[in-house]
Each structure stands twice: as structure tokens, then as C-alpha cells.
A and B are shown apart, each in its own frame.
Chain A
Amino acid sequence: MTGVRAALIATGIGLGLWGLWLMRDFTGGELLSIGTWIAGGILLHDVVLAPVTVALGVLAARLLPAHLRGALGVGFLIWATLTVAFVPVLSGQGGKPDNDTILNRPYVTSWLVLTAVLLAATVLAVLVRRAQARRAQARTVQSRTAQGGPTADAGP
């Protein structure tokens, strides 16, 4: 495996250097713009998007019972990742004023509908979860009563 790993690492470094070589005649202005975008992308993620997501996770962990967090997490993940993917069409930027064959759909309306649908699906999943959790709890209580108290739970 060491040989394979060394080959992968060497190949990767070679391809990366080839990419840098392709930029050898770029002007200083171009390189600055590229650098700004690359650094900006990392900072936008590491300093804004990720900490906000972590903070929401911490908040959810403090405020919500565990059995509801799975469904909420799934709903949030889908909503947030799709929203990031749709930022350009939602931004109102791009396209050309004399060309109505591009960006010609009601994207914001679609996004509101998408948000509402995901929210409804998440609430539904949470309600189902809660009902299941209550039933499970009721069953436990019932079986405990039937078997004559909590000691019977010790089981095999």
C-alpha cells in the first residue's frame, strides 16, 4: 500500500504543479483576483457558514430532545445545501438585460415553496417521531406494570 500511496501523492503533486504552470503568464491583477476568490471561499466557509451551522447544532442540542433532532437535522441539511446551490439564481445577479432566455423563472417564489415544503415535511416527521416515542414510552410503562415493577426489567 505504501507504493500505491507514494504514487498517488507524487501524481497529485505533478498534476497540481501543471495547473500552476498553466497560470504562469497570468497578470498580477488576475492572480490577485484568483487568490481573493480562493481565500474568500475558504474564509466564507470556515468563518461564516461552518460556525453558524455549529451554533445551530449546539442550540438544537440544548433545546430539543434527542429523538427530534434527527428529523430536524435532515430537513436543515437539505434546505441549507440546496439554498447554497441556488444562490446565483436567487441573487438577481447575472444574465444580460437584453436576453430574456436566461434566468427567466420566478426563482425566489420557487425557493419559498421549497422552504415551505421542506418545513412541512420536517414538522410531519417530527410529529410522527414524537408519537412513536410516546407509544414506545407507554409500552414500556405498560409492560413494567404488567410484570410487577421496574425490577423485572433487569432481564437476561
Chain B
Amino acid sequence: MRLPTVEDVERLLPDPESFRSRARGTGLSARVGVLLGLTFGICFLTGIWSHLQYDPPGWLPIGPSPTHLYRVTQGVHVISGIASIPLLLVKLWSVFPRLFIRAPRGGRARVLELLERASIGTLVGASIFMLASGLLNIAQWYPWEFSFRRTHYAVAWVAIGALIVHIGVKLPVIRDALGAPIDDEPRPAPGAPTRRSVLLATIGSVGLATILTAGQTVPFLRRVSVFAVRDGEGPQGLPVNRTARAAGAVDAALDPGFRLEVVVGDTTLSFDRDELAALPQRTHRLPIACVEGWSRDATWTGVAVRDLLDLAGADPRSEVLVRSLQTRGAFRTSVLPGQFVEDHRTLLALELNGEPLDLDHGYPCRIIAPNRPGVLQTKWVQRLEVRT
């Protein structure tokens, strides 16, 4: 009785020549790979951008204009992620026989082959991880023990790094394949699968996947996107990311003794909701743009944060720390940088689409500012602390 050797296992596995379909091949892999490189590139850049918008670094003061910037970048992030799914599956299908290539015995060739295999394994594992974790996250399904935000960010660097290594390794193969016709001669019988038909079907699937989901952020697709996580509806015509109950904000938000505090140095101004409503009101049309890729415009009415700072005698370009009444969950506070405070469209909103804010939209009052990730649009605001 002996343990099975590598050779024993290899005998049980098919070898690359056992895969007969002529629809697979470099002509297809390279073309699908180019498309996948594009969608991954877009995903990576918009993802990095999203992290910058969450925590704007000092060297990049992201401001309130353009109003719809985050709505577009994050919408594109999720759209290109979903578009990557058919591309990745077909790419893996096309190269699947290569999984069974036997590494050369010994020497430099074997080392190189094993190194390339490691880089491919990293690329495939990280790619599947990125698409799966992103896809589950937009459905608010978290069957894992890690922080989604930090992990999706870190593995993104691994995925894009492995992709760039892969492009470097395969560059000559890619150039040859793109320079040659996609299908070999002689062409298969009419009606038989060709690489061209697989490529066109893949592009068709990408198009369908996009149309059937992008309506959560693209208004004219809303009714068509029957597989979108959000249909764009909700109380007062707007979806909700976190309810008042989930945030543990119900009791404090409905307390008739509620007062909003504006703190500047040692002085504190406080207003009940009627007093806030008696201040000069501004109305703006601004989007809620969630990191989960859905977004929708709405009409918001309330007091401009800079008007409150004027009342308190503070510089209207000051940074403001916003504290919520919520007792559970992340993002109980947010920081409004000076360039947002200065913009009169940054509101402490009291009304949404002409009605007093729904409890789940942040009653008694919430922050809404142009070009901000949804989680930073703090709801159930209790206190504005001006940092001078």
C-alpha cells in the first residue's frame, strides 16, 4: 500500500487535448479577456474613487460639484461588476482545458510554469471573490466573518495586481490572438458553435444583465430591470438603506422634546422642529446615491447648514461634525468638510418630496448634500458640532 503520487492523480484527470470543442481557444479567450480587463479596470478605478469619497484625503478635496458625480461613479461600479460576471464565466470556460496542462518535469521551465499557475490561481480566486462579495453585498447578504468594506478594498488590489501580471505574461499571446481571425480555418459546419457565436452570445448576456439590473440607478430602465435589488420605490418615493428601527433611532426621533443642537465652541444653540421649520427654507433636487449602487433623485426642503452656522456666528466654511440619534450600526457620525458646508445646497432637510420626512428617511431632520455617498447623508440628526 503506497500513497498516490502526482502521476497517479494526473492519470485520473483529463488532459488539455481531451477537450474537443473548437469554440474554445485563444481567439475567444483574448477577446473576452480584453472586455473583462475593461470592466475590471472600470470597477477598480470607480471602487478606489468610492473609498476616496468616503474618506477624502487632504490632497484631494472632493467637493459638492458635480452634484451627480458619486451617483455616476458608484452606479458604473456596480453595473460593470455585474457585467463582469458573464465575461468571467466565459473566460474561465474558454481556458478551462489549460487547468489540466501537466507542469514540465524539473528545471527552470517547471518553476516558471508553477509561478504562472500561482499567479493565475490568485487572479481567478481574487476575481471570483470580488464579484461574489460585491454581488452579495448589494443584496445586503453577508454570509462571512470579515468587514466587507476593508476586505473588498484590499482584495481589489490583489485582483488588479494579478490581472496586470497576467497581461504581462500573456502579452505576446494576446497580440497574436487579436491579430488573427477569431475562428480557425476551415470553419466549422454551418450552425455549429464557433468562437464568434460564443463571443456574440457573451456580449448579449452582458447587455441583458445590464439592462435587467441597471434600473436601480438609471431612471429610464427602472421598469425593465426586473432583477434589480431596488425598484426605486419606498416611502415618499425613495428607497431606504437602513430603517429607523434597525438604527435604534425610533424612540429618540419621535420624542416630542427633540431639540437639534448647533455647537460652536462654548455656545450651543438649540431648535425644536417647529423652530427649524420657521427658519428660511431652501429646496433642492439632490440624489441619494448608495454605495450599493442604487440611486434616485428627490426634492429636499430644509435649512441650509451654512445658514445655521451664520445664525450661530460661525464661519460658513467650517468643518461640521454631524451626530445622529441612532443607537445602533455604523456611521452614527459624519464629517461635513468646509466645501460642503459652504454650499447652500447642503441642507438639514425637514421635508422630502413635499412631505415631512418619513421616519425611515431621517425624521425629524437629516443631512442631504450634493455628491456624497449615501451613508454620509446622516439621518436622524441630533447635533451639529462646528470645528473651528
Interface residues of A (CB under 8 A from B): 1, 4-9, 11-20, 22-23, 26, 29-30, 32-34, 37-39, 41-42, 44-46, 49-50, 53-54, 57, 61, 66-71, 73-74, 77-78, 80-82, 84-89, 91, 93-96, 98-99, 101-105, 107, 110-111, 114, 129, 132-133, 136
B311 contacts the other chain (CB 8 A) = no
The residue from A29, A30, A46, A66 contacting B151, defined by CB atoms under 8 A apart? A30
B108 contacts the other chain (CB 8 A) = no
Q: Which residue on A lies nearest to B167, using beta carbons?
A: A8
Q: Which residue on A lies nearest to B97, using beta carbons?
A: A54
Indicate whether A81 sits within 8 Å of B205 (C-beta atoms), given known contacts A8-B164, A16-B157, A101-B234: yes
The residue from B23, B90, B246 contacting A98, defined by CB atoms under 8 A apart? B246
Total number of B residues with any Cβ neighbor in A under 8 Å: 89
Q: Which residue on A lies nearest to B234, using beta carbons?
A: A101
Indicate whether A20 sits within 8 Å of B158 (C-beta atoms), given known contacts A12-B164, A50-B96: yes
CB-CB under 8 A from B144, the residues of chain A are 33-34, 37
Min CB gap A6→B, angstroms: 7
Q: Which residue on B lies nearest to A6, using beta carbons?
A: B168
Min CB gap A71→B, angstroms: 7
Min CB gap A66→B, angstroms: 4
A39 to B126 alpha-carbon distance, docked (Å): 9
A50 to B190 alpha-carbon distance, docked (Å): 26
The residue from A8, A49, A77, A91 contacting B205, defined by CB atoms under 8 A apart? A77
Min CB gap A42→B, angstroms: 5
Are B164 and A99 interface neighbours, CB within 8 A?
A: no
Indicate whether A9 sits within 8 Å of B139 (C-beta atoms), given known contacts A34-B155, A73-B201: no
Indicate whether A67 sits within 8 Å of B192 (C-beta atoms), given known contacts A57-B21, A101-B233: yes
Min CB gap B364→A, angstroms: 20
CB-CB under 8 A from B205, the residues of chain A are 77-78, 81-82
B271 contacts the other chain (CB 8 A) = no
Indicate whether A39 sits within 8 Å of B125 (C-beta atoms), given known contacts A8-B164, A82-B208, A84-B89: yes
Are B139 and A103 interface neighbours, CB within 8 A?
A: yes
B220-234 interface with A by 8 A CB criterion: 226-231, 233-234
Query: How many A-B contacts are there with CB distance less than 8 Å?
Result: 243
The residue from B85, B122, B153 contacting A85, defined by CB atoms under 8 A apart? B85
Min CB gap B131→A, angstroms: 9
Known contacts A5-B171, A37-B144; 10 further A-B pairs (Cβ under 8 A) = A15-B164, A16-B157, A16-B165, A26-B151, A33-B145, A41-B124, A81-B90, A88-B139, A93-B143, A107-B226
B65 contacts the other chain (CB 8 A) = no
A-B contact pairs, 9 of them (CB 8 A): A8-B165, A20-B158, A41-B124, A66-B188, A85-B82, A86-B227, A101-B230, A102-B240, A105-B231
B42 contacts the other chain (CB 8 A) = no
Are B165 and A13 interface neighbours, CB within 8 A?
A: yes
The residue from B92, B191, B229 contacting A70, defined by CB atoms under 8 A apart? B191
B204 contacts the other chain (CB 8 A) = yes
Are B90 and A18 interface neighbours, CB within 8 A?
A: no
Q: Which residue on A lies nearest to B207, using beta carbons?
A: A78
A82 to B87 alpha-carbon distance, docked (Å): 11
CB-CB under 8 A from A33, the residues of chain B are 144-146
Are B157 and A88 interface neighbours, CB within 8 A?
A: no
Indicate whether A85 sits within 8 Å of B233 (C-beta atoms), given known contacts A22-B153, A30-B147, A39-B125: no
Are B226 and A110 interface neighbours, CB within 8 A?
A: yes
Min CB gap B59→A, angstroms: 18
Are A105 and B226 interface neighbours, CB within 8 A?
A: yes
Indicate whether A42 sits within 8 Å of B121 (C-beta atoms), given known contacts A13-B161, A88-B141, A96-B243: yes
Min CB gap B215→A, angstroms: 10
Among all A-B residue pairs, the 5 with the closest Cβ atoms = A16-B161, A19-B157, A8-B168, A94-B141, A67-B191
Are B193 and A73 interface neighbours, CB within 8 A?
A: yes
Q: Considering residues A44, A50, A95, A99, which has the most beta carbons from chain B within 10 angstroms of its beta carbon? A: A99
Min CB gap A37→B, angstroms: 6
Indicate whether A12 sits within 8 Å of B157 (C-beta atoms), given known contacts A70-B194, A78-B201: no
Are B139 and A45 interface neighbours, CB within 8 A?
A: no
Min CB gap A65→B, angstroms: 8
CB-CB under 8 A from B165, the residues of chain A are 8-9, 12-13, 16
B330 contacts the other chain (CB 8 A) = no
B245 contacts the other chain (CB 8 A) = yes
